[in-house]
Structure 1
Amino acid sequence: MYTITVIPGDGIGPEVMGAAMYVLEALNIEFKFQEARAGNDCYHETGTTIPDETIEMAKNSDATLFGAVTTVPGQKSAIITLRKAMGLYANLRPVKSYPGVNSIYSDLDFLIVRENSEGLYSGVEQETEEGATALRVITRKASERISEIAFKQALKLGKTRVTAVHKANVLKKTDGVFRQAFWEIARKYTEMDEYSHMEVDELYVDAAAMFMVQDPHRFQVLVTTNLFGDILSDEGAGLVGGLGMVPSSNIGDNNGLFEPVHGSAPDIAGSGAANPAAMILSTSLMLQFLEEHQEAFKLEQALLKVLKQRKYLTVDLGGTSTTMEMAHAVREILEEC
């Protein structure tokens, strides 16, 4: 039995989480779900965006599912706080085309490996007489660690190229550290027999952004710093149907958290219009993390079949179905397996 902490959040978070949980019930795996709180509604009821109790529950579970939360101005980010507290230093964001989804490219399949613990998201800011400053923290340890994750993921996924993305020509000190650490790790790994076939290259982030539009097939695994990874991931999502189709993993040495990359979309909350695909795909990533690879594959294939059939799709995918109607269709296919 796996203990899973479930954080629905607010906005459309509870709706997509409810859909994913409904689908998970059809799998041949025993779960113990424990619900925890975070986000805007939590703040207005408890005075904090993420209680200590939620963090402890997540730390002590086998994995955590996170829906979506609305940002509270002037308050700490619930998801960033949780990632740091759990030591989730790697954010894995697959950019993958799915059949039946209106996309700019129909055949993409690459991975963005984003450093998750520092950079401009270090949270060290201060006001000045002229405005404000933010401290960009880049350490050798974090840069080496995220580069190692990139090579390991490339091998696991059968990829043959790892690309470092940075801006070391301008950010000479901080991205200089990242770039040097990446190439040291690249030399170490490509000297190993199982990695010797891999190509390694690097791009400035502005060039990477351009090539992601013009020639995204050149990419297999990209590794980069926190803010660059955040921006490039959303650009990648735009190539394959939007944020409603992109899941993510946050992993560390001892735990994992899985979430869709879309926001809380309060404007459609409660309407039943939210696309559950990214949340369902995030649960598939969780199953892979738990080494339930067969069930993860079955879940993804069931969603793919629903997308191909185009009978039960939400409005953003060109259909008229509700969130739960789409989830029902996925579950029916799973139950037939």
Structure 2
Amino acid sequence: MLVHRGVKHVGSRMCCRYASTNSGKQNTAGKDEMIRFRSHVIPCARENLARYGGRQTVTALPGDGIGPEMIDHVNRIFSFAQVPVDFETIQVSSENPREEDLENAIVSVQRNGVALKGNIETKFDDPHFKSRNMEIRRRLDLFANVLHTVTIPTVPSRHKDIDIVMIRENTEGEYSGLEHESAAGVVESLKIVTREKMQRISRYAFEYAMKYDRKKVTAVHKANIQKLGDGLFLKIASDIAMAEYPEIKFNAMIVDNASMQLVSRPQQFSGGIMLMPNLYGNIISNIACGLVGGPGLVSGMNFGDKYAVFETATRNTGTTLAGKDIANPSAFIRASCDMLRYLNFNEYADLISDALFETLTVQRIHTQDIGGTAKASELVNSLLENIEKSCVNSKYRFRS
């Protein structure tokens, strides 16, 4: 446990003297990689977040599978580092899919403004079962899904120097959920594309590129076949690029070619943004996560005008790993750091993110999914030790 003596917190500033290279183990290249490991998050501008006395209340949605133990890991880290966040835990599960639980979760996020979420399993064998994940995104109008995929030194991967931001429209397209059986054995699924939402996600991507100096935006589409739906998306993205953001390089790529290019030469997308409609974004993002080490490493962010929900990038429950202390907590920890940046708790976010980076790259604590033998709890223990070392010269004192 971390205890401070006679030291005050000022706003979101942590009164621990913290430097990411204080261990002496990080050279300049390592420091650059550590900084690149941190995701860029547009901070919240809302004044009415549930923040009282400098502490922020956050909705925790553990979900199914490994979600509850991941929330426990984050709770332990936040408590150790004295992060000024309190979790309001709401249970939403596929095992007991009560509408009341979903409503409680949505009301909680609306009240607090932000959530940290595990995945809720969707029963694909029941056509009447609505995806809780989709309902949360739709009801809160979380229109932008943002992923940052970056290669991590010491984590096995076929490619190096990957640094790609994926921005995906999150509320419509093939995920509109409108299907019906028009005749026996004939199913119609509706893909809904609207000018308003295509403009909104396109501008979000270009604004993100401007803010964080991303040099290129690549729109991924299938307009050669879906000439109206994807054609509208492509035209809107092209028009906005030309008229409003001429300083950013814009190009377009058909989704099947983009998939091949991503696995054969992903470096061509590094330093840029891949902008995608909903379904293609889901598929392409999972490919990108696989390129940098798999589902246990990458976080995912969901933004709307009013609310934000943070989770793992690949949205899998990891049910077969639950309760075994082997599921990689890195993606969930990175999601919690993204959340802290959104809340303007940047010092805490950097402290935890850099401690995780050192755990993976200096101590080389790797779980089974990335070629190691470490337990999840061992990874977290190493992270906490790195936090303690970062603050060893401060006025903080630690005790077990």
Pairing partner for 2:165 from 108, 111, 129: 111
User: Is 1:224 matched up with 2:279?
Assistant: no
Deviations 1:22-44 (A, max 9, x none): 2222335311210011122342x
Superposed counterparts of 1:1-337, under 5 Å: 1-43=55-97, 47-48=98-99, 50-73=101-124, 74=126, 75-128=129-182, 129-191=184-246, 196=247, 198-219=248-269, 220-262=272-314, 263-337=316-390
Measured after TM superposition, the shift of residue 116 of structure 1 is 0.2
Q: Is the 8 A contact 1:99 1:304 kept in 2?
A: no
Q: Is the 8 A contact 2:206 2:217 kept in 1?
A: yes
Measured after TM superposition, the shift of residue 119 of structure 1 is 0.3
Name whichever of 88-97 and 34-43 sits farther off.
Answer: 34-43
2:25 is matched with which residue?
Answer: none
| Secondary structure of the structure 2 residue equivalent to 1:60 | helix
| Secondary structure of the structure 1 residue equivalent to 2:149 | strand
| Residue identity opposite 1:5 in structure 2 | T
Residues 107 and 24 of structure 1, relative CA distance in 2, 3 Å threshold: farther
- The answer to which structure has the higher helix fraction is 1
User: Identity of aligned pairs, percent?
Assistant: 32
| Secondary structure of the structure 2 residue equivalent to 1:125 | strand
Measured after TM superposition, the shift of residue 333 of structure 1 is 1.1
Whose radius of gyration is greater, 1 or 2?
Answer: 2
| Secondary structure of the structure 2 residue equivalent to 1:19 | helix
Deviations 1:26-67 (A, max 9, x none): 335311210011122342xxx349521111001111310001
| Secondary structure of the structure 2 residue equivalent to 1:64 | strand
| Residue identity opposite 1:244 in structure 2 | G
CA distance in 2, matches of 1:202, 1:145: 18
How many residue pairs get matched? 329
Measured after TM superposition, the shift of residue 154 of structure 1 is 1.3
CA distance in 2, matches of 1:241, 1:226: 23
Measured after TM superposition, the shift of residue 157 of structure 1 is 2.5
Name whichever of 114-123 and 208-217 sits farther off.
Answer: 208-217
Residues 160 and 170 of structure 1, relative CA distance in 2, 3 Å threshold: same
Q: Is the 8 A contact 1:10 1:68 kept in 2?
A: yes
Q: Is the 8 A contact 1:23 1:328 kept in 2?
A: no
CA distance in 1, matches of 2:185, 2:135: 28
Measured after TM superposition, the shift of residue 311 of structure 1 is 4.6
Name whichever of 115-124 and 207-216 sits farther off.
Answer: 207-216
Q: Is the 8 A contact 2:154 2:364 kept in 1?
A: no
Name whichever of 202-211 and 287-296 sits farther off.
Answer: 287-296
Stretches of structure 2 lacking an aligned partner (at least 5 in a row): 1-54, 391-400
| Secondary structure of the structure 1 residue equivalent to 2:219 | strand
| Residue identity opposite 1:241 in structure 2 | G
